[in-house]
Structure 1
Amino acid sequence: MDENFRPLDASLRRKLRDIVRIVPRVYSFLWQVTPGYFAISCAIMVVTALIPAAIIYMTKVIVDGVVEAASGGSHWTDLVTPVAVVFGLWLVETLLGTVSNMVQSMLSERVQFAARERIVAKAGSLDIAFYENPKFYDQLRHAQDQLYQVTGIVWSSIGLVRSGVGLTAMAGLLTILHPFAIVVLFVTVLPSLLMQGFFARLWFDFDTQWVRNYRMLDYLQRLLTSRDSAKEVRIFTLKDALVGRFRRFRETQLRAYLRMQFRSMRVRTGLDIVSLAGVASIWAYAVYQAALARITVGDLTLVFNAAQQARSQLNALVGSGGQVYEQALFATRFFDLLDMDPASVEAALAPPPPTPAPTPKRLTQGIEFRNVSFKYPGTDKWILRGVSFDVPARSKVAIVGENGAGKTTLVKLLARLYDPVEGEVLFDGRDLREYDLGHVRRDVAVVFQDFFRYDLSAADNVGFGEIRALDDRDRIQAAAKQAGAHDIIEALPKGYDTVLGRTFDEGVDLSGGEWQHLAISRAFLSDAQILILDEPTAALDAFREHRLYEQVAELSANKTVVFISHRFSTVRMADLIVVVEDGEVTELGDHETLIRHNGKYAAMFNTQAARYR
């Protein structure tokens, strides 16, 4: 973990035109999500930008009126109107501030949820090859962590406009003293503008450099707080070691963070002193002019307030500009993820043909593996090499072999989670890549050994097997009965509506075998023509497994079934047995044929049978 990873080197060299391209895209995104709140927020910010200048001018009028009334030149009642106007402006500013806070809060919530929805939708659409790639996780982490920058750009850019409008108004007021006063302010604040962009770049580089460290901290935290790891952490007394490792990673990162903060603080302090000197020079000149009676006391008050406000507005303008630049840099990560090319990683699925074919409504020839070779992305080791065999339509086929032989990889290729590196998998004589991927997903149901446990309702855990039947309770119950899960579910506190797992307070956990029954129920619910069981019954005893496979054979008479099992009492039920060794198919045939052949299958069968003699 000493290596600092930079996920998209190209994005680190973005030029200003790339940043300018992102800002309109953010505004377009917000307009799509919540146009009403967006328009109201923009309008409020522009109006509130003009109020301070109006208040300063009215203050000048009041001061001059007081001086004139004190000298007997006017009556004090002439001051009622300007004083009322100032109070009215304060009231409007307060009310608009309250409304603006509410509108911004609602807009931020809507945008955050919409952005998160875009991320999960994009992540769910990418091939499984992305999830074998650590760089993808770095980029996903970047996008998730920087979601707030999307709305941040809006507030910063609107703030930029507001500061610009306010600064223009203040500059107009300062011309009462001298037009050169505006130049002094700009010259003394200009260095801050340049440094904003410089430090925005540094913070972006810092975040990019330390993303792998962030992920390691998250992982260590999950190890210490996850239910899945809780047992081993305690059995092997890992707590102190993991906490120590967490602390070391965190301290290393904090030291780097503090160095950046101190560097930024030194520079910003110096630049603030320079800008204050500019305001002080304007004040000194205004006092000089007032002493010579070239401007009124009200003008002096106006210059004092306007100069300080102009400095604040100019600093805000510079700050907002720097924030827009910095936030746009970070927001590019969100849009980079949304724009990610599905074919941008090794072993991604081949793009669909211009007119993908629908899968056949009923398999007639079956499935064929033809000279299939495969290796996982990022490795040079061939998992499968030159594999060829046929799976007749509506047959029951078992795949056997030692651990690591390539059995599960065959299943992944058949379900088109991956494409072969060489060779092809055919459905009814046609390459699987020529079919519509959505049709393939509907026609192939898989229950993996490491099936997922959804901490949702029992009905969801079964219904996810056929999403179109998620609300069909009768079908869900029928599938659960076929898989032996119905009685398990009915015994739960709320039956099919019981939330499972320990993620939520009301959740009820199940044993490993009970979870397996629910996973197999998903397969029974599916309308798929092809059912694949990748050793999903490991937590069941041999008797229950055998009975379950008998049910599978009975209920899937019109389906093609491919299963992986290490229990030969189950394997011998298959019409065809495929023996895989070191990524190659070495034997094919039914149980009796392979026993007579006296090869690898016979050796494995006899070894297991000997345990029961």
Structure 2
Amino acid sequence: MTADGVRLTASAREAAAIGWSGAALPVAGYAVTLLGTATAPIAAAWLTKLVIDGLTGSASLAGLLGLAAGLATTGVAAAILPHCSRYLGGQIGRAMTAVTTDRLFAATARFPGLRPFEAPGFLDRLRLAQEGTARAEGIVTEAFGLIRSAVSVIGFVGSVLVISPVMALIVLCAAVPALVAQLKLSRQRTTMMWEIGPAERRQLFYGTLLSTIEAAKEIRLFDLGGFLRRRLMAELATTHASKRRMDRRELSAEGMLTLLFTGEQDREDSSTGVVLSGGQWQRTALARAFLRDGRDLMILDEPSSGLDPEAEADVHARDARAPRGPYEPAHLPPAEHGAGRRPDRRPEGRGRRRAGRPRRPHGGGRRLRPPLPPPGPRLSRDGRAT
């Protein structure tokens, strides 16, 4: 058996036959629940449209109540059916695990000699078969999942087709690349699992030697622990490299599909521009203010507003290094409150810097101060009014 010999359709038919023979009723119930799950959103969308049309039109009260009841029933069904399908899927999985395990070891016991168990290729297939017994229900559930997705897509495309045929064509053109990419990735994933089978078998062999009592004496006698560990790690690195390559393929495919569906890519020179946040607007305003030369006085109104602590410290450090004239912030930045600096100081190479409210333009140099509150009773240290 080779990687090219894997036929997904044949595997799906065989898995469906096993599932039907082992759990016929759960499979039938699972199919019904999946179809209900697929059609519930479509029914809810159409019922919502009819309710809105009835409210805006001249529908009767009885008709609106019937539509509302149908919409509520659809919502309840959409909430309950996934739990039912999960329960039935578990039943199918347990039944198929029992059937496939029985068939696998019954076929293994029919071999007359030991020759197959000495062939590495057969051992790889046997190991994959043992792992497949625990995941046999996945083929059935995934097949039903594809049917559910197909029903949902057909229903929504039909709804869009009724509204706008051009939009339906656009939706179909957007869905075809995703389908092709997922099918190709699934085949590549199956091929990868088949290719790393020998490396995983050797990894299991070395791990068994290092952890069983039968080989412990010889390993310590001939000092083979380091050698076996290095061989084990080499096989592990081989399997990890194959899985990383597969992950990169999936990531690149998903990234290309994302760019295809969004229709555009973020660029710094985008013709539509970008929307700045509050902190970015504040930085832009500060940069615009400090670019002006030849000023006598610059007044900054809350220069640290909207900035995070890191940006505020960066702005303060750049301002301290810039050889500018005097400026007066309306509010002292918090970075200077706890830094042990005095509000009135004269840095080297700069004019006088004053913190506080801006002065009156014609007030004799007096600061703008809020009116003082009326004098009231003072409290002593023991809490008594004086």
Q: Of 239, 242, 255, which aligns to 2:241?
A: 255
Cα pair 2:196 2:242 within 8 Å, conserved? no
Distance of 2:151 and 2:21 partners within structure 1: 27
Deviation of 1:41 (Å): 1.0
The separation in 1 between residues aligned to 2:214 and 2:242, in whole angstroms, is 33
Partner residue of 2:101 out of 106, 112, 116:
116
**Aligned letter for 1:120?**
F
Superposed counterparts of 1:264-279, under 5 Å: 264-277=250-263
Shift of 1:75: 9.1
8 Å Cα contact 1:217-1:246 kept in structure 2: yes
Are 1:189 and 1:271, in contact at CA under 8 Å, matched by a contact in 2? Answer: no
1:276 Cα offset (Å): 4.3
1:130-187 deviation digits (Å, cap 9, x = unpaired): 1222221122122222335532221122112212222222122213421222211111
Q: Distance in 2 between matches of 1:130 and 1:13?
A: 20
Correspondence for 1:246 among 220, 223, 232: 232
Q: Does the aligned pair in 2 maintain the 1:33–1:110 contact within 8 Å?
A: yes
For the pair 1:12 / 2:4, whether they are aligned, the reply is yes
- SS of the residue aligned with 1:128? coil
Q: Deviations over 1:190-231 (max 9, x none)?
A: 122222332233222222221110001111221233232344
* Match in the other structure for 1:309: none
Question: 1:548-567, aligned counterparts within 5 Å?
Answer: none
Deviation digits for residues 355-381 of structure 1 (CA, Å, limit 9, x no counterpart): xxxxxxxxxxxxxxxxxxxxxxxxxxx
CA separation of 1:148 and 1:277: change in aligned 2, threshold 3 A: farther
Q: Is the 8 A contact 1:189 1:275 kept in 2?
A: no
Corresponding position of 1:150: 136
Structure with greater proportional strand content:
1
Query: Quick check: 1:132 aligned with 2:132?
Result: no
Conservation of the 8 A alpha-carbon contact between 2:96 and 2:133: no
Aligned match of 2:21 in 13, 18, 32?
Answer: 32
The percent of aligned pairs where both chains have the same amino acid is 21
2:38 paired residue among 46, 49, 74: 49
Contact preservation (8 Å) 1:48, 1:93: yes
Cα deviations by residue, 1:306-343 (Å, 9 ceiling, x for unpaired): xxxxxxxxxxxxxxxxxxxxxxxxxxxxxxxxxxxxxx
Which residue number corresponds to residue 93 of structure 1?
Answer: 78
Q: Which has the higher contact order (CA 8 A, sep 6+)?
A: 1
Distance across 2 between alignment mates of 1:146 and 1:200: 16
Distance 2:177 2:240 in 1: 29
Cα distance in 2 between the residues matched to 1:235 and 1:80: 85
Secondary structure of 2:96's match?
helix
Conserved in 2, the CA contact under 8 Å of 1:185 and 1:275? no
1:182 to 168, 177, 181: 168
Q: Deviations over 1:80-134 (max 9, x none)?
A: 5444433322222222222211111011011012111211111111122212222
Label 1:60 to 1:139 Cα distance change in 2 as closer, same or farther (>3 A). same
Query: Structure 1-normalised TM-score?
Result: 0.40
| Cα separation, 1, equivalents of 2:72 and 2:212 | 57
Query: Is the aligned partner of 1:61 residue 2:50?
Result: yes
Q: C-alpha separation between the residues in 2 aligned to 1:105 and 1:230?
A: 41
Is the radius of gyration larger for structure 1 or structure 2? 2
Question: Separation in 1 of the partners of 2:173 and 2:157?
Answer: 14
- What's 2:191 paired with? 205
Q: Is the 8 A contact 2:47 2:71 kept in 1?
A: yes
Looking at structure 2, the residues matched to 12 and 149 of structure 1 have their Cα atoms a distance apart, in angstroms, of 21
Q: Distance in 2 between matches of 1:99 and 1:175?
A: 32
1:572-587 pair list within 5 angstroms: none
Q: Tell me if the contact between 1:37 and 1:103 (Cα under 8 Å) persists in the aligned partners.
A: yes
Q: Kindly tell me: are residues 237 and 86 of structure 1, through their superposed partners in 2, closer, same or farther at Cα, counting changes over 3 Å?
A: farther
Listed as ranges, the gaps of 5+ residues in structure 1 are 1-7, 279-613
Distance 1:276 1:157, change over 3 A: farther
| 104 and 74 in structure 1: CA distance in 2 versus 1, 3 angstrom threshold | closer
Question: SS of the counterpart of 1:175?
Answer: helix
Equivalenced residues, count: 263
Q: What letter corresponds to residue 12 of structure 1 in structure 2?
A: D
More helix by share: 2
Q: Counterparts in 2 of 1:377-526, with a 5 A limit? A: none
Instruction: Decide whether the 8 Å contact of 2:37 with 2:81 is kept in 1.
Output: yes
**Contact kept? 2:19, 2:95, Cα under 8 Å:** no
Farther off after superposition, 145-154 or 207-216: 145-154
* Aligned ranges 1:303-322 → 2 under 5 Å: none
- In the other structure, the counterpart of 1:159 is 145
Q: Is the 8 A contact 1:31 1:38 kept in 2?
A: yes
Q: CA RMSD in A?
A: 2.8
> Do residues 221 (structure 1) and 218 (structure 2) align?
no
Find the counterpart in structure 1 of residue 376 from structure 2: none
**Within 5 A, what are the aligned runs for 1:336-415?**
none
Deviation (angstroms), 1:239: 4.2
Cα distance in 1 between the residues matched to 2:30 and 2:165: 33
Structure-2 separation of matches of 1:181 and 1:53: 17
Q: Secondary structure at the match of 2:164?
A: coil
Q: What's the counterpart of residue 331 of structure 2?
A: none
Report the CA distance shift for 1:232/1:52 in structure 2 as closer, same or farther (over 3 A).
same
Take 1:241 and 1:132, find their aligned partners in 2: how far apart are those partners? 24
1:506-556 per-residue CA deviation (whole Å, 9 max, x = no partner) reads xxxxxxxxxxxxxxxxxxxxxxxxxxxxxxxxxxxxxxxxxxxxxxxxxxx
**Alignment check: 8 A CA contact 1:189 1:274 kept:** no
Give yes or no for contact 2:33–2:81 (8 Å, CA) kept in 1.
yes
Counterpart of 1:222, as a letter, is T
